[in-house]
Amino acid sequence: MTVIPENELEFRFFRAGGPGGQNVNKVATAVQMRFDVRGSPSLSGAVKARLMKLAGSRLTLDGVIVISASRFRTQERNRADAVERLQGLVDKASIAPVYRVPTKPTRASKERRLESKTRRSGIKSGRGKPGLSD
């Protein structure tokens, strides 16, 4: 698990719709967090590549992940929510995929398969209409 240092995150606060009552028109509670993936020294190259792929539409052309959070009424909780969501992405990207090593079927399994096909063929051919010789 890789932890992103606070100094690599850039926060911008703005007014948001949603919960907050009259407060919503006065206080900048929504958070837009920016994290430069390409310029981050705390991530390895492989993790960066997987993170950029996982980010999808949240990634800009410059390699910056932008996460907006306005779910809560307070700035602190929205900030924590944005950091938590980024950490979730980084944790997911830190797990290297396990690739399947392709193997060939054994000789015995090939023989079993052909034997069952022959047996099934015999069953099906026995279902046909009786011929003139029968």
Residue 3: predicted pLDDT: 78
Residue 24: predicted pLDDT: 65
Domain-embedded: residue 100: no
Domain-embedded: residue 37: yes
Residue 19: predicted pLDDT: 60
Backbone angles phi, psi at 57, to 5 degrees: -75, -10
Domain-embedded: residue 127: no
Q: What is the CATH number of the domain that holds 88?
A: 3.30.160.20
Domain-embedded: residue 25: yes
- DSSP string spanning 115-133? HHHHHHHHHHHTTSPP-TT
Residue 111: predicted pLDDT: 96
Domain-embedded: residue 132: no
pTM over 0.85: no
CA atoms within 13 Å, Cβ hemisphere of 11: 18
Range of the domain at 86: 6-94
Averages of pLDDT over runs of 10 residues in the chain (134 residues) are 79 75 73 87 86 87 88 87 91 89 95 97 88 68
